[in-house]
Structure 1
Amino acid sequence: MIERVVLVGIGTGSLGHMTLDGQAALRSADVILVPRKAEKDDLAEIRLKLLERAGVSARVAFFDYPVRDEALPYLERVERWHDEIATRWTAAAGDAAEIALLVWGDPSFYDSTMRIAARLVPVGAVRVIPGITAVQALTAAHGVPLNTVNGRILVTTGRRLRDGGWPEGAESVVVVLDGECSFSRLTGQGLRIWWGAFLGMPEEILLSGPLDEVSPRIVEAREAARARHGWVMDTYLMRKS
């Protein structure tokens, strides 16, 4: 029976993005759960390589990600999806008392792993070890500050950007979870963009400049990367000129 869940942030897939505390926690876990997605097998391989490089020898158990029911309303769809993932964690864990999972980025930042863990154990039995977020990796890679002097930052999703356009009163906007290049709908507004994919990895791609000029190049680079790797993780910062 699962008594404790440890969630370790692994940044964007580089061993350097995982803290020493995170590596130590993985070494002490009974079982490390690794998800598999049919179209994204590389992500499981990256997790396994990180475990190997960190000297982790704990047992690894795989589980398959369920598919969301697109016929349901969005919130209900996500809730049922999380329920099913929790069920699959339990099945994969077997008789392990402590399980650990490697979470892209940071478990507390635009990620639902903590919510899924809360379905299985009390909040106090969930240990979270932060990792480097894609936002940190993005601004570091481009060598730009996240905010202007005394400026506000808004972090949002591609879905919200598509539905609402440029947020009213916003100066600097970071967009995550955008699989549809929603920035391309905001040309003609005098925006500048800093975009990055596979941040911190050998495959890293960086593009920046006036949105009107680089938007087509980003779309092309993203499509090419997805075709080559079968997946792509990217994020971007936009700011009014």
Structure 2
Amino acid sequence: MRKILVIGIGAGDPDHLTLQAVKAIARTDVFLLLDKNEERQDLVRLRLEMIEEHGRPGHRVVQVPDAERDRRAQPGYPAVVHSWRTRRAELVEGLIAEHVGGGQTGALLVWGDPGLYDSVIAVLDEVLERGEVSFDYEVVPGISSVSALAARHRTVLTRVGRPVRVTTGRRLAAEGFPAGSDDTVVMLDGKAAFASIDPAGIDIHYGAYLGTPDEILVSGPLAETAPRIAELRREASDRKGWIMDSYLLRRTED
């Protein structure tokens, strides 16, 4: 039986690798890397450096372009995501069938934690449901950008007796600050949705490229810091060609 490892590798700092992740990388025969566009080659290089440092002798690396995804806001967004996952499942199915032999272990390296806004687990389940290739898989948790964000700002996500909500920039822009939530973590924000909500009585703890040399950290009242964050974000995105950020929005104490 083939074995597939889904390994969380942290938010960007090589030291975010847990001992469990290091051991998983060390027992992998074939690493399956789904490359992003040319603008994100620094992320590909970082994964290759992790593999080179912790991989065992004789390991192989297979790199292919990832399935393209339509990221435009539209009413049929869930259907767009489903279509993309299906195309990704077809790609991963072919990679496993061609490159991971019987009794071998393949691995997919996932930024942050595989259980938080990532598609790999759903993709592997779809591949198994198709029934064309058989394997067992294991998930190795990683340090998410949410955990890294709280640590870098030296704060906690959950205040006494209060829940924390995790949502996306798309939903924040559409719905505003979630009702009934005093603490909201926002991920996958492609358009600076924090600038579109009423900032009164809200603090922000913002982080971009967490754990990397390009890291950006800003915190303070949203009304005062939103313009600065938006400008830093634009400059960084123009320079690098992409942005990877998250932030905590927190209602201030009365």
TM-score when normalising by structure 2: 0.88
Contact 2:2 2:135 in 1 (8 A): no
The match for 1:119 among 123, 126, 140 is 126
- Greater CA deviation, 94-103 or 125-134? 94-103
SS of residue paired to 2:128: coil
SS of residue paired to 2:116: coil
Equivalent residue number for residue 82 of structure 2:
79
Alignment of 1:105-184 (within 5 A): 105-121=112-128, 125-184=136-195
Q: Distance in 1 between matches of 2:16 and 2:61?
A: 21
- Per-residue Cα deviation, 1:9-49 (whole angstroms, up to 9, x for no partner): 01112121111111221222221011212232222111111
- The root-mean-square deviation of aligned C-alpha atoms, in Å, is 2.0
TM-score when normalising by structure 1: 0.92
Alignment of 1:1-241 (within 5 A): 3-38=2-37, 39-57=39-57, 58-69=59-70, 73-93=76-96, 94-97=98-101, 98-121=105-128, 125-241=136-252
Q: Distance in 2 between matches of 1:187 and 1:53?
A: 47
Q: 1:185 to 1:56 in 2, by over 3 A?
A: farther
Contact 1:118 1:126 in 2 (8 A): no
- Per-residue Cα deviation, 1:167-188 (whole angstroms, up to 9, x for no partner): 1111100001111110101234
SS of residue paired to 1:175: strand
SS of residue paired to 1:120: helix
Contact 2:28 2:55 in 1 (8 A): no
Contact 1:63 1:89 in 2 (8 A): no
Shift of 1:115: 0.3
Gapped regions of structure 1 (runs ≥ 5): none
Gapped regions of structure 2 (runs ≥ 5): none
Shift of 1:76: 1.9
Contact 1:63 1:92 in 2 (8 A): no
Q: Distance in 2 between matches of 1:172 and 1:83?
A: 34
Contact 1:105 1:134 in 2 (8 A): yes
How many positions carry a matched residue from both structures?
A: 240
